[in-house]
Protein backbone atom coordinates (compact mmCIF):
# COMPACT_ATOMS: atom_id res chain seq x y z
CA UNK A 1 0.00 0.00 0.00
CA UNK A 2 1.04 3.58 -0.55
CA UNK A 3 1.72 6.18 2.10
CA UNK A 4 -1.44 7.96 3.19
CA UNK A 5 -1.02 10.84 5.63
CA UNK A 6 -4.73 10.78 6.50
CA UNK A 7 -4.61 7.25 7.98
CA UNK A 8 -5.04 7.25 11.76
CA UNK A 9 -2.24 6.03 14.03
CA UNK A 10 -3.34 3.94 17.04
CA UNK A 11 -1.14 5.81 19.55
CA UNK A 12 -2.91 4.41 22.60
CA UNK A 13 -2.46 0.82 21.45
CA UNK A 14 1.19 1.35 20.48
CA UNK A 15 1.96 2.97 23.82
CA UNK A 16 0.16 0.26 25.78
CA UNK A 17 2.02 -2.51 23.94
CA UNK A 18 5.37 -0.82 24.49
CA UNK A 19 4.70 -0.25 28.19
CA UNK A 20 3.76 -3.91 28.58
CA UNK A 21 6.98 -4.93 26.82
CA UNK A 22 9.11 -2.59 28.97
CA UNK A 23 7.49 -3.83 32.18
CA UNK A 24 8.06 -7.50 31.38
CA UNK A 25 11.62 -6.96 30.14
CA UNK A 26 12.55 -4.75 33.14
CA UNK A 27 11.41 -7.42 35.59
CA UNK A 28 13.21 -10.09 33.59
CA UNK A 29 16.46 -8.10 33.47
CA UNK A 30 16.31 -7.29 37.19
CA UNK A 31 15.91 -11.00 37.98
CA UNK A 32 18.58 -12.22 35.57
CA UNK A 33 21.20 -9.46 35.98
CA UNK A 34 20.85 -8.48 39.62
CA UNK A 35 24.61 -8.62 40.27
CA UNK A 36 25.56 -6.26 37.41
CA UNK A 37 24.67 -2.64 36.74
CA UNK A 38 21.21 -2.21 35.23
CA UNK A 39 21.63 1.43 34.11
CA UNK A 40 22.58 0.56 30.53
CA UNK A 41 19.88 -2.08 30.20
CA UNK A 42 17.14 0.21 31.50
CA UNK A 43 18.41 3.07 29.33
CA UNK A 44 18.18 0.77 26.33
CA UNK A 45 14.61 -0.10 27.22
CA UNK A 46 13.70 3.59 27.48
CA UNK A 47 15.35 4.37 24.12
CA UNK A 48 13.33 1.57 22.52
CA UNK A 49 10.10 3.52 23.21
CA UNK A 50 10.50 6.30 20.65
CA UNK A 51 11.91 3.81 18.14
CA UNK A 52 8.90 1.50 18.56
CA UNK A 53 6.44 4.40 18.28
CA UNK A 54 8.19 5.80 15.18
CA UNK A 55 8.21 2.37 13.52
CA UNK A 56 4.51 1.90 14.41
CA UNK A 57 3.73 5.35 13.01
CA UNK A 58 5.37 4.55 9.65
CA UNK A 59 3.63 1.18 9.42
CA UNK A 60 0.25 2.74 10.25
CA UNK A 61 0.69 5.37 7.54
CA UNK A 62 1.43 2.60 5.04
CA UNK A 63 -1.84 0.91 6.07
CA UNK A 64 -0.57 -1.91 8.28
CA UNK A 65 -2.87 -2.67 11.18
CA UNK A 66 -2.60 -5.81 13.26
CA UNK A 67 -5.77 -7.55 14.27
CA UNK A 68 -6.76 -7.60 17.89
CA UNK A 69 -7.12 -10.84 19.82
CA UNK A 70 -10.88 -10.35 19.77
CA UNK A 71 -10.89 -10.16 15.95
CA UNK A 72 -8.68 -13.25 15.68
CA UNK A 73 -10.99 -15.25 17.96
CA UNK A 74 -14.04 -14.32 15.89
CA UNK A 75 -12.39 -15.43 12.62
CA UNK A 76 -11.19 -18.87 13.70
CA UNK A 77 -13.62 -21.79 13.40
CA UNK A 78 -14.46 -24.08 16.30
CA UNK A 79 -11.73 -25.89 18.17
CA UNK A 80 -10.28 -28.85 16.28
CA UNK A 81 -12.08 -28.02 13.07
CA UNK A 82 -10.05 -26.98 10.04
CA UNK A 83 -13.08 -26.27 7.87
CA UNK A 84 -14.66 -22.89 7.44
CA UNK A 85 -18.17 -22.29 8.68
CA UNK A 86 -19.57 -22.37 5.12
CA UNK A 87 -17.99 -25.70 4.21
CA UNK A 88 -19.08 -27.27 7.51
CA UNK A 89 -22.71 -26.47 6.68
CA UNK A 90 -22.44 -28.32 3.36
CA UNK A 91 -21.34 -31.63 4.93
CA UNK A 92 -24.12 -34.09 5.78
CA UNK A 93 -23.20 -35.68 9.10
CA UNK A 94 -25.90 -38.35 8.88
CA UNK A 95 -24.25 -40.13 5.93
CA UNK A 96 -21.46 -42.60 6.69
CA UNK A 97 -18.02 -41.86 5.31
CA UNK A 98 -17.03 -43.60 2.10
CA UNK A 99 -14.31 -46.23 2.17
CA UNK A 100 -10.85 -44.99 1.29
CA UNK A 101 -9.14 -46.26 -1.84
CA UNK A 102 -7.25 -49.54 -1.38
CA UNK A 103 -3.50 -49.34 -0.95
CA UNK A 104 -0.68 -51.84 -0.73
CA UNK A 105 -0.75 -51.52 3.05
CA UNK A 106 -4.40 -52.50 3.29
CA UNK A 107 -3.98 -55.45 0.94
CA UNK A 108 -6.29 -54.05 -1.71
CA UNK A 109 -3.69 -53.21 -4.32
CA UNK A 110 -2.92 -55.69 -7.10
CA UNK A 111 0.04 -57.95 -6.42
CA UNK A 112 3.24 -57.50 -8.38
CA UNK A 113 3.57 -60.45 -10.71
CA UNK A 114 6.79 -59.48 -12.44
CA UNK A 115 8.88 -59.21 -9.27
CA UNK A 116 12.08 -61.24 -9.55
CA UNK A 117 13.76 -62.73 -6.55
CA UNK A 118 17.17 -61.35 -5.80
CA UNK A 119 19.87 -63.64 -4.51
Task: Break the chain into its structural domains and give their ranges.
Answer: 11-74
Q: What is the value of pTM for the model shown?
A: 0.58
Residue 77 contacts residue 88 (beta carbons within 8 Å): yes
pLDDT (0 to 100) of residue 52: 95
pLDDT tens digits, 30-63: 999 888 888 999 999 999 999 999 999 999 999 9
Residue 10 neighbours by CB under 8 Å, 6+ apart = 56, 60, 65
**Phi, psi at 61, each rounded to 5°:** -70, -25
pLDDT tens digits, 3-29: 888 899 999 999 999 999 999 999 999
Q: How far apart are CA 22 and CA 46, in angstroms?
A: 8
Q: How far apart are CA 34 and CA 26, in angstroms?
A: 11
Amino acid sequence: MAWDSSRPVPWQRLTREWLLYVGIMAVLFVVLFRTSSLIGILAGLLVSGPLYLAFGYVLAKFGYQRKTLKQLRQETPGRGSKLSADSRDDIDVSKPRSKPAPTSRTGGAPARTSAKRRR
